[in-house]
Amino acid sequence: MSNDTTFKALVVEETSDGEFKKSIQERKVSDLPENDLLIEVHYSSLNFKDAMSATGNKRITKQYPHTPGIDAAGVVVSDKSGTFSAGQEVLVFGYDLGMDTDGGLGQMISIPADWALPCPETLTLKEAMTYGTGGLTAALSVQKLEKMGAKPSDGPVAVTGATGGVGTISIAILKQLGYEVIAFSGKPEQSEHLKELGASEVRHRDTINEIGNKPVGRELWANAIDTIGGDYLSNLLKQTKAGGAVTSCGLAGGAEFSMTVMPFITRAVSLLGIDSVYIPLADKEAIWQRVATDMKLPNLESYGEEITLEQTPEYLDRFMSSKVVGRYIVNVKG
């Protein structure tokens, strides 16, 4: 493939007045960074981090113009490292993709070879992006609860941010593995949808905070997956059963939270951090094998909406206005 070969990409640019605009532009392969692995992207997906990059969040992306997209699924064009063969289907999640390295919302990416994984044989590229980073985070959250000893007979698992990408996949995976799920959401109109995904009960997210400033409350769930942060995280911990655990992977409700140590020292509750970006490649490969086997969900098409590359500016705005429901899979190749 020539360096003059052109492709389409979402490009975010900073204007002279400090605003950020999104548009679909034609780029050349020569515009990409010099790396070993060149991939033709077929599918990507949208995540909150992509939306932050697309609105000019300098904690996510320092330099503009930039192409977001922390997920990519595609076919190898060439690999100077010899790790992959031309035509091989691969997946890329996290590391610097879509942050300061042009990401999966472009039809071509150039990355270090050790950022990519072979696509499991039991998953298509589109199916892999139906999970995406959101699904990967959900799977890691469930797995971490399991490693702490969680089992379905312990009692229900609470899931916050239930209508988001991590929340919806978490509910479905937990249900498939035999867990009872209590879903918390700020979108009551989505209650029936969440029950269809596997939630046995749907509550408004603000009911978590009814405990107020009490150091601990009634033990209402055995374990929890939190995607929001802030007061929701602290109050989930206060109402978790003795010996249970809460995973943390999001901050839409705030990056800070305040509480006493009482749940930790009187109930042995654990707070578990989830990182889907910089975990070792071997660990990513291992969790993807579970996603492709015992965590593989039937009717995957029902968990996400397929959109075009041209629709991504509009859909990225939904994340910033809290209008996200489920996963958005981008058909990048078209």
Read out DSSP for 92-144?
EESTTBTTTB--TTBSEEEE-GGGEEEPPTTS-HHHHHHHHHHHHHHHHHHHH
- Judgement on whether residues 16 and 109 belong to the same structural domain of the protein: yes
Q: Kindly indicate the confidence band of residue 275, based on its pLDDT and cuts at 50, 70 and 90.
A: very high
CA distance 287 to 136: 8
- Judgement on whether residues 139 and 269 belong to the same structural domain of the protein: yes
Integer CA distances (angstroms), 29 to 5, 57, 107, 295, in order: 6, 26, 10, 36
The stretch 267-294 carries a mean pLDDT of 94
Note the pLDDT of residue 3. 78
pLDDT in tens, 102-144: 999 999 999 999 999 999 999 999 999 999 999 999 999 999 9
Asked if residue 298 is part of any domain, the answer here is: no
Burial class (CB in 10 A: 0-12, 13-18, 19+), 201: middle
- Judgement on whether residues 323 and 264 belong to the same structural domain of the protein: no
Asked if residue 278 is part of any domain, the answer here is: no
Note the pLDDT of residue 299. 87
pLDDT in tens, 47-76: 999 999 999 999 999 999 999 999 999 999
What are the strands, taking DSSP E only, across the chain? Answer: 6-14, 20-28, 37-45, 71-79, 89-93, 108-111, 116-118, 157-159, 181-185, 201-204, 223-226, 245-248, 270-273, 304-308, 327-331
Q: Contact at 8 Å (CB) between 131 and 284?
A: no
Two structure tokens written together for 309 = 């590359």
pLDDT exceeds 80 at position 2: no
CA distance 223 to 145: 8
Asked if residue 291 is part of any domain, the answer here is: no
- Judgement on whether residues 34 and 95 belong to the same structural domain of the protein: yes
pLDDT in tens, 209-233: 999 999 999 999 999 999 999 999 9
Q: Kindly indicate the confidence band of residue 238, based on its pLDDT and cuts at 50, 70 and 90.
A: very high
Numbers of helices and strands, H then E, in the chain: 8, 15
Asked if residue 125 is part of any domain, the answer here is: no
pLDDT exceeds 90 at position 323: no
pLDDT exceeds 90 at position 97: yes
Q: Residue 205: which CATH number?
A: 3.40.50.720
Asked if residue 194 is part of any domain, the answer here is: yes
The stretch 249-277 carries a mean pLDDT of 94
- Judgement on whether residues 150 and 265 belong to the same structural domain of the protein: yes
pLDDT exceeds 90 at position 149: yes
3-state secondary structure of 294: coil
The helix-helix angle for 281-291 and 125-147 (nearest 10°) equals: 100
Look at the chain and report how many structural domains it folds into.
2
Q: Kindly indicate the confidence band of residue 252, based on its pLDDT and cuts at 50, 70 and 90.
A: confident
Two structure tokens written together for 123 = 């998953």
Which of 235, 254, 273 marks a domain boundary? 273
- Judgement on whether residues 142 and 179 belong to the same structural domain of the protein: yes
pLDDT in tens, 183-192: 999 999 999 9
Note the pLDDT of residue 301. 84
CA distance 163 to 228: 12
- Judgement on whether residues 145 and 238 belong to the same structural domain of the protein: yes
- Judgement on whether residues 151 and 256 belong to the same structural domain of the protein: yes
Report the chain's mean pLDDT, rounded to a whole number: 95
pLDDT in tens, 7-44: 999 999 999 998 999 999 999 999 999 999 999 999 99
- Judgement on whether residues 162 and 244 belong to the same structural domain of the protein: yes
Asked if residue 295 is part of any domain, the answer here is: no
Q: Residue 62: which CATH number?
A: 3.90.180.10
Asked if residue 293 is part of any domain, the answer here is: no
- Judgement on whether residues 108 and 174 belong to the same structural domain of the protein: no
CA distance 192 to 186: 14
The stretch 89-95 carries a mean pLDDT of 95
Identify any residues that bridge with 328 across adjacent strands, giving them in sequence order: 305
- Judgement on whether residues 49 and 80 belong to the same structural domain of the protein: yes
Asked if residue 326 is part of any domain, the answer here is: yes
- Judgement on whether residues 154 and 245 belong to the same structural domain of the protein: yes
CB count, 10 Å around CB of 192?
10
Domain with 113 in it: 6-119+303-331
Note the pLDDT of residue 325. 85
Buried/exposed 275-303: b ≥16 CB within 10 Å, e otherwise: ebbebeeeebeebbebbbeebbbeebeeb
